Structure 1
Amino acid sequence: MPVGSCAVRVSGIAKVEVDEGIEWRATVQVADESHELRFGAPAELASHADASMFVAACFLPAMAWGQDLEIDGPVSAHLLARLPILGRHYSTMDPGLRPPEVTAAEAVDDPEPTGHGTACLLSRGVDSTYSVAVDRVEPAPLDHLLYCRTLEPHHDPEVSDAELAATRRVADRVGLPLHVAWTNLRTFTDPMFGWSAMHGAGLSALGLLVRQRFDTLVIPSAYDLPGTTSTGSHPSLDPLWSTADFRIFHDLTDRGRHAKVAWLAEHRPELLAELKVCYSDNASANCGQCHKCLLTMSSLRAAGALHLAPLFPSELDLEALRRQRLPGLGLRGLWLPILFAAREVGDDDLAAAIEDVFRLTAVPTLRELVGGRSRSLDRLLGRVAGPARFAPYDPERATTFETFDRVATDRLLPMVRHGEVPPPGQPPRPGLRPSTVVASIEASLRHRRR
């Protein structure tokens, strides 16, 4: 990816009245390409915004391009002062990202808070459904919900309308008003970043858009405290996008993903009817085959609640589950509680499938053992073995959560296995016990027989 003295420039910032309210637009110049970036919401939410949202939207892209960031508009001085900390956080998760110098046409003191109340983002995934349903004292009881109707850019208008209707049903069931925003952010960032890396900054940008209406925005958490890993939304990252008049709160880490599913199944089972985690298809239902679907269906099955979630297939495809590979410790940590729950309830088939995933993930493939030594060897492996099970980090394509997770994992495994600390970017050598290799081979043979 190009590195140089050029800057990512955000200019032409304008407030435009549209049928649904106010839309803020800006031109983002990256290298020799221009992109129009848009954020919108009803006028009572977004009429007094400044350019701070564009900082959150463009900060990581500037890091990816190795360039500084110039904003031709007013930006919160409180936020500007914290950007170096954010940059250092991101670069620790991916050393290939360079913290940018950020300049704004004007650094403005934040006004006295005008917003009142605590809002929570709702997407109808496990984390946000739990966050809007659970009784809370931190940061405060919820007063409002915020939904972005364009956050899945591949949804056509019909699916988008159905998704909004389903989200309104959830809001009605929890008894909170729903506010709707929109943005084309992902059409700009997806070619550079997987949403899993970008979503903390992206959701914070939505919060900065509507900060005149609320004083606090809750971003649902994905992990419990032991499982917290390097990812784009993190307890140490999200609050740094706050301003003096608006607080961004990364939700509590007292329950992990499976514990949230189990809580919903016990306390708010009616909300499982609208559970939507899948981003793979242009559809209102969950596909049942992608990693997020398989993870959630496994959790629902272990909690005895799969029948309560009709947007998923009625049966979990255990063979599709066995094909999953978990490149980092963060992803593996999401599966561990499901494995323990499956064992506890006597679901031997589910437990065995998850155990096979762990075994097959633990043993490196031939490609991982000898790949990267020569281009001709890599081409041969590609023809013989097919595509790599873990896509390597491609700095000209995307940084994803998996990249962050692999960096953290590659730092830890050599110390655990060998007491070694390799240079950054060097993957750990296998160092596996023979019993692990044998177990992986047995799991692979079982999978092939099926």
Structure 2
Amino acid sequence: MSIKEVLKTPFAPLLVSSLFLVLANMVGYVAVSWWIAQQGGAADLARYGVVMSLVSLVAVPLLSPLGDRVAKGPLITAALGCFAVAAMLLAWWVGTRGYRLDVVLAIQAVPMIAMAVVQPATTGLAAELVPASSLQQALNRQQGAQSIGRLAGPALGGAVLAAAGTAPALWLHAALLVMATGLAMRLPRIERADAARRSSWWSELRAGLKANWGIPLERGWMAANFVSWIFIFPALTMLVPLKVQSLQLSAWWLGLCEAMLSLGVLLGALGGANWLIARFGRFNTRVASASAQGLALALAGVTDHPIVLVASFALVGIGSSAMTLVGLTHRTLARPAAYRTRMSAGSIVTTQVAASLGPALAGLALSVWSVKWVYLAFGVLGAAAALSLAAVPGFRAFMALSHEEVDGWYGRAHPEAFGGRAGDAALSASGACPSRSARPGQ
């Protein structure tokens, strides 16, 4: 599916809205982080990170049934609208009032709650807007658009910060969110089945958790990602500036590392990931790219050469792009349509818990070893954990299924994971007939 073909489909507003959302998020991230670091120092910045993580950790599972109860398009629009209003309030506060961390935390909790709705709903909506055979190409285009936002956002935010200050940068952040909201208003309204909407919120929440845990393949996938992300997340975040400082490099090199990571993701989205999948197959690409990501981070940790450091982040980006594309497409399609948002939220929560444990573990390791060896160890351990996905029963056969064969596969192969009245109604509404089909690997 070419970019021209994508822009002619109902997926187009979601694609362009995602670009502006990521661009806005990156501008806001730079502006807010700079303001807190400048006014409150490292301690306030750490408190901000902890509180935002906790808000997201609670909001994602609690709000996940929303995307399976109501039309995802208007839901995404409403959440982005709340995000934009909060951004305008923060920009006004920064421009007219003094620094208060409690006010920042209260305002910034709104975007975290909004993203807890938007992120899983967006994944589920993509599968509803394009045919199963075209989902991989559509997600590829979306990943490319988001990579452009991640690449341009920090540079744009930094330029406005340097030229005009924090408040103008935050007003730009708010304006970009208004644009993302306006584009989301063009998303089609796809209503959920009445039977699914009549079930209670608590029963739907439990049904989503049961589905994640009740499917051996999904359970093993989540476990492998959880362990790997404990090591990969710190290597992508807190260890990067420490590594740059250990080489006595300027902050410019930190920005270059982030830019090369986004560039690598973009190169993967523009064709690199598809080339790997066509040449080596989905299974080999998914496992090898995840392991290669960890090994590239290990290289970043052990090298003493700035050019090698920057190049390693480009490799990380390419590996991340291929890994996400091939895994997300099959996993999204396999989930019954009425469960996609909730099951996606379960995966997000798992990675967020790992993202909370990883930095703490890295901090303990840094109290004993230098950043070079901690970085190396985390990269190697992350790569080894990613390899464990190959040992999950049925994973290889599952990845060998075509997009048409994998569509709704979880519901057909594991109807017991969607048991109960709410589950039966949701499966019926999504067209996933609970009859046993042949299970890959069994």
TM-score by length of 1: 0.23
More strand by share: 1
Under a length normalisation based on structure 2, what TM-score does the superposition of the two structures give? 0.23
Rg: which structure is higher?
1
